[in-house]
Chain A
Amino acid sequence: MKKLLIANRGEIAVRIIRAAKELGIPTVAVCSEADRDSLHARMADEVVEIGPASAAKSYLLVEAVLDAARASGADAIHPGYGFLSERASFAQAVVEAGMIWVGPDAASISVMGDKAEAIRAARRAGVPTIPGSDGPVVDVEEALRVAEKAGYPVAVKAAAGGGGKGIRIVESADMMREQLPIAQAEARAAFGNGDVYIERMVLGAKHIEVQVFGDGVNYVHLGERECSVQRRRQKLIEETPAPLLPSDVRDAMCSASVGLAEAVGYRGAGTVEFLYEPQRNEFYFIEMNTRIQVEHPITEAVTGIDLVLEQLLVASGEPMSFTQKDVQSRGHAIEVRLNAENPDMQFMPSPGLLETFTMPAGPFVRTDSGFIAGDTVPPFYDSLLAKIIVWGRNRDEAIARMVRSLRELEVSGVVTTAAFLERVINTPEFRSGEYDTVFLETWQATA
């Protein structure tokens, strides 16, 4: 790898540039018109402007990104997360252009990007999945049979959906007869693919995911992350290890994840997401993300392994620098996603000039951001202002450090979710670890 183009913006672009610099690899940033003066554009060795502010006309344009790579002489592309990171056709185009794709091959992305295909792959690898259909259901008769066996209520999901989109809850056979054709028509309209599959509704579940890594020969896990604190299916707080997760379940989850990575010949960093149902003490595969995750730093904090650096090594054709026995998780880490949103106004986005932006610091506090004081947060992209990651020898120590960090943060010019995050951390549910994926919205509704 001689020169790396980062096909992303914001904090993750900055994060990747840092890893590349440590490996001595020159970097090329791409930016939209609106991001000309952004931190990621300033930090890279070179920058190519690829289009207007709208992501659809810049960061999401495959040809614009490839042209920038050719023009700058980059021989590798790191997609970050979001944007083009899970588009198999982009991964393929990068390879066909003779460049290194920092990520798993297009075939792995493609299998995991199709929810029904991914579930089939998981079942073949012996990974537990939510009781339901084996792939898309063909008609109402099959849907009724599957739902009866799994038990109502069930979720009817678009195979090409994701992020909570394209899901219908069906509570009875009558409702299934009525809803299935609508769900199929909607899926066709929204995603260009009318396939839907059925799963039993898992209630009171925790969202727990496992970080895996592979180099085509060796496959390892780096432990789990508890990501149940979500609002509108967007994760807000993540921690590792997952509190209250029985160690035998953790071990089974981690080895199932490694098994899946191995089964698809996975290369690079990936995340296997599960629902864990405490009442039944069972876990089920939901999906695999074939990219670096927003919340990867908590795994780095407890393992001491730089995941992005490792991605670059493996993409260059090197083996991973560590084996399973080298992964020794220590202490507890928590991440909060600080968003430029106003919690008092239904989380209305709050772009604007960061007049003051002083991050918390001190022992075992890490902050990843795409902005510094004096920068303008543009209105065109997501509202992530910064990630604050803390480490402690145990969970209590990490919580105290996070509360201290949130109070130390100074921001003016935009409204942030800092005070809201502190209130969430102080709820009895968070403190006890007894929270599930609907906890936050339930708490907000009653608060």
Chain B
Amino acid sequence: MAQHEVRTPIPGVFYRRPAPDQPEYVVVGESVTAGQTIGLVEVMKQYAEIKAGVDGTIVSFQVEGDDIIGPGDVIAIIEV
């Protein structure tokens, strides 16, 4: 089984939920499709969605919600 690393192209603050009062986009163990949103990065008051990029299963998140991330940081690992 291959593992795919989902990386962020932009720096900012990472969120796992679309809004504080809403559920997480995905949880560990969940199946995802390539175009599915798994998180959000806030940069300069704008929001960019982080897509899974591949079909597979979420193995782990490498960053927590509210974490500060830099370009190229690994967000999550997906088993393909």
A-to-B contact residues, CB < 8 Å: 53-54, 340-341, 347-349, 351, 379-383
Q: B13 and A380: CB pair below 8 A?
A: yes
A382 surroundings in chain B (CB, below 8 A): 44-45
Give complex CA distance A201, B43 in Å: 33
Give complex CA distance A293, B46 in Å: 22
Question: Is B68 close to A, CB under 8 A?
Answer: yes
Q: B44 and A381: CB pair below 8 A?
A: yes
**Residue among A53, A349, A351, A381 having the largest count of chain B Cβ atoms under 10 Å:** A349
Not counting A341-B44, A348-B48, A382-B44, a sample of 7 additional A-B residue pairs whose C-beta atoms are within 8 angstroms of each other reads A54-B13, A348-B10, A348-B46, A349-B10, A349-B45, A381-B45, A383-B45
Q: A379-B11, A379-B12, A380-B13 are in contact. Are A349 and B44 (CB under 8 A)?
A: yes
Give complex CA distance A267, B19 in Å: 38
Give complex CA distance A340, B45 in Å: 12
Q: B46 and A349: CB pair below 8 A?
A: yes
B-to-A contact residues, CB < 8 Å: 10-13, 43-46, 48, 66, 68
Q: B45 and A351: CB pair below 8 A?
A: no
A54 surroundings in chain B (CB, below 8 A): 13, 66
Q: How far is the CB of B66 from chain A (nearest CB, A)?
A: 7
B11 surroundings in chain A (CB, below 8 A): 351, 379
A348 surroundings in chain B (CB, below 8 A): 10, 46, 48
Nearest 6 CB-CB pairings of A with B: A349-B44, A383-B44, A379-B11, A379-B12, A379-B43, A349-B43
A341 surroundings in chain B (CB, below 8 A): 44
Give complex CA distance A413, B48 in Å: 21
B10 surroundings in chain A (CB, below 8 A): 348-349, 379
Give complex CA distance A348, B13 in Å: 15
A380 surroundings in chain B (CB, below 8 A): 12-13, 44
Q: How far is the CB of A380 from chain B (nearest CB, A)?
A: 7
Q: How far is the CB of B16 from chain A (nearest CB, A)?
A: 15
B46 surroundings in chain A (CB, below 8 A): 347-349
Q: A379-B11, A380-B12 are in contact. Are A351 and B43 (CB under 8 A)?
A: yes
Give complex CA distance A381, B48 in Å: 15
Give complex CA distance A393, B27 in Å: 62
Q: How far is the CB of B32 from chain A (nearest CB, A)?
A: 24
Q: B68 and A340: CB pair below 8 A?
A: no
Give complex CA distance A383, B45 in Å: 8
**Residue among B13, B44, B46, B68 having the largest count of chain A Cβ atoms under 10 Å:** B44
Q: What residue of chain A has the Cβ atom nearest to residue B9's Cβ?
A: A348
Q: B68 and A53: CB pair below 8 A?
A: yes
**Residue among A53, A54, A379 having the largest count of chain B Cβ atoms under 10 Å:** A379
B43 surroundings in chain A (CB, below 8 A): 349, 351, 379
10 chain-A/chain-B pairs, Cβ below 8 angstroms:
A53-B68, A54-B66, A348-B46, A349-B43, A349-B44, A351-B11, A379-B10, A379-B43, A380-B44, A381-B44
Q: How far is the CB of A55 from chain B (nearest CB, A)?
A: 9
A53 surroundings in chain B (CB, below 8 A): 13, 68
B48 surroundings in chain A (CB, below 8 A): 348
Q: What residue of chain B has the Cβ atom nearest to residue A232's Cβ?
A: B46
Q: How far is the CB of A386 from chain B (nearest CB, A)?
A: 15
Q: How far is the CB of B20 from chain A (nearest CB, A)?
A: 10
B68 surroundings in chain A (CB, below 8 A): 53
Q: B66 and A340: CB pair below 8 A?
A: no
Q: How far is the CB of A34 from chain B (nearest CB, A)?
A: 8
B45 surroundings in chain A (CB, below 8 A): 349, 381-383
Q: How far is the CB of A342 from chain B (nearest CB, A)?
A: 11
Give complex CA distance A54, B67 in Å: 10
